[in-house]
Amino acid sequence: MTITTVGLDADDTLWHTESLFRLTHQRFTDLLSPHCDPATLEARLAETEKRNLRLYGYGVKGFTLSMIETAMELTDGAVSTTVIREILAVGREMLTEPVEPLPGVDLALASLSERYRLVLITKGDLLHQEQKLAASGLGDLFVAVEIVSEKDADTYRRVFARHGTGPEQAVMAGNSMRSDIIPALDAGAWGALIPYPLVWAHEAAEAPRGHDRYAELGSISELPGWVASLP
Amino acid sequence: MTITTVGLDADDTLWHTESLFRLTHQRFTDLLSPHCDPATLEARLAETEKRNLRLYGYGVKGFTLSMIETAMELTDGAVSTTVIREILAVGREMLTEPVEPLPGVDLALASLSERYRLVLITKGDLLHQEQKLAASGLGDLFVAVEIVSEKDADTYRRVFARHGTGPEQAVMAGNSMRSDIIPALDAGAWGALIPYPLVWAHEAAEAPRGHDRYAELGSISELPGWVASLP
């Protein structure tokens, strides 16, 4: 079974976003510091995000709404409207932040695209993900872009059937064990974890040590060599 | 060239949403009536929505953020936080509103699905559109769902190539002349306008009278007959 298709996660695999979310958390705690200590605020924001996830999904707009809601709740409505306007501005800045590919991404993708069909598989706001891909300059290397609302085994089966030759001949590479690796392995694909220093709390999961279709790589620069080594 | 594929718009073609948006506008003007007359408020909200469209795209989350921003701007920050909490709640209600197919939709789709491949083609939030399709009970009638960030001729060419046998053998049906009909005709497909009483200001466009691949239908119940009559 020769590999024909390589799926790649986008956020924090091809470019930073988690660090941007962290920076935004910092600005959020600064804005609300007269009302609340940072630890409590972080905990409440995480609760709000989790509660809203089913409704808002992943992405900046839902995150902005959750920040506003948390600010309201924690201050019992005593927060100034200046703070709310600041939160709205922070959200808009996140949406227009320049997109810089992570080190090694350009070269690795250029090399992979010569031999395999590259498919971008990512969660998040449809419009915002398309804008980021366009801004990154990487769009032309992909034969397909799939922006999905959930990453489970069925998603990978469907996407690799549609854009490749099935999961058995596909590699999924990304920074999230829970979203990129485990369900891709479950679907019958290969999985390459490319760790990113910051991992979102919702995304942590156990490594499938000893799994014969799994590898943890040091960086994306190792991906072309690993894919080429597969049977 | 026998028709093989029928594309259908979702919001205000298969189920109401424009009326829900209007109802929300009403609640929004009521909430802010101590600060501002309804006409000014509507005009400013429309401005904010238009300005944010490129950034937020279509959908309830962006609309909620635009309502909050408008409330802030119009009252110069003097709006009470209770109002902001109400706006957040209104947005969440829009996301969980039950989805009721419009009259005639069930029968028309059941009939069409016996002879053609049905593809749902819609703008909006990915997660929210998937939730609405699931809640409508119509999901099983479609062979594919394409949630797109823009509806232009390229979109229809791509979608009808991927899920059908090209635009020449496809019909697109929907309530928006500008998004559903004109670009589908430009792509080489047939277009069936199914008017909905309320049309969003951004979606108005001239009817292509005399176009030989275009029809304006009285309701979706006429769609199966019209498609069957095509050469």
Question: Which DSSP string do the residues of A4-51 spell out, in sequence order?
Answer: -EEEE--BTTTB--HHHHHHHHHHHHHHTTTTS-HHHHHHHHHHHHHH
Residue B154 near residue B30, CB atoms below 8 Å? no
Which residue type sits at A189?
Answer: A
Of the candidates A85, A126, A149, the beta carbon closest to that of B77 is on A85
* B134: confidence class by pLDDT, cuts 50, 70, 90: confident
Q: In Å, how far is A217's CA from the nearest CA of chain B? A: 31
Q: Does position B21 have pLDDT exceeding 60, yes or no?
A: yes
Model confidence over A185-217: pLDDT tens digits?
Answer: 999 999 998 988 655 555 556 777 778 888 888
Give the helix ranges, DSSP H, for chain B.
Answer: 18-31, 38-56, 60-74, 81-96, 105-115, 126-136, 153-163, 182-186, 223-229
All domains in chain A, ordered by first residue? 5-16+100-228 (3.40.50.1000), 18-96 (1.10.150.240)
Q: Averaged over B115-131, what is the pLDDT?
A: 89
d(CA A30, CA A20): 15
Model confidence over A111-155: pLDDT tens digits?
Answer: 999 999 999 999 988 888 888 888 888 988 898 889 898 999 999
Contacts of residue B201, defined as CB under 8 A and 6 or more positions apart, other chains included, come to B46
Burial A16-37 (b: 16+ CB within 10 A, else e): bbbebbeebbeebbebbeebbe
Model confidence over B24-65: pLDDT tens digits?
Answer: 889 999 999 999 899 999 999 999 988 998 888 878 899 999
Of A22, A6, A21, A49, give the one whose Cα is nearest residue A194: A6
Of B28, B42, B35, give the one whose Cα is nearest residue B88: B28
Residues of A in Cβ contact (< 8 Å) with B149: 126-127, 130
Q: Can you tell me whether residue B16 is helix, strand or coil?
A: coil
What's the pLDDT score for residue A200?
53
Residue with tokens 């489970």: A152
d(CA A226, CA A210): 16
* A28: confidence class by pLDDT, cuts 50, 70, 90: very high
Of B5, B17, B56, B54, give the one whose Cα is nearest residue B184: B5
Residue A153 near residue A183, CB atoms below 8 Å? yes
What are the respective helix, strand and coil percentages of chain B, to the nearest 5?
55, 15, 35
Contacts of residue B205, defined as CB under 8 A and 6 or more positions apart, other chains included, come to B176, B177, B178, B181, B182
Residues constituting chain B? 231
What average pLDDT does chain B have?
88
Residue with tokens 């449809």: A126
Q: Averaged over B208-213, what is the pLDDT?
A: 81
CB contact under 8 A, B91 and A65: yes
Q: In Å, how far is A226's CA from the nearest CA of chain B? A: 31
Residues of B in Cβ contact (< 8 Å) with A92: 55
CB contact under 8 A, A84 and B95: no
The token pair at B41 is: 């408020």
Residues of B in Cβ contact (< 8 Å) with A61: 56, 61-62, 65
By percentage, how much of chain B surpasses pLDDT 70? 96
CA distances from B156 to A171, B113, B116, B181, B190 (A): 30, 19, 17, 10, 11
The token pair at B112 is: 């069409």
Backbone angles phi, psi at A199, to 5 degrees: -120, 130
* B205: confidence class by pLDDT, cuts 50, 70, 90: low
Its pTM stands at 0.76
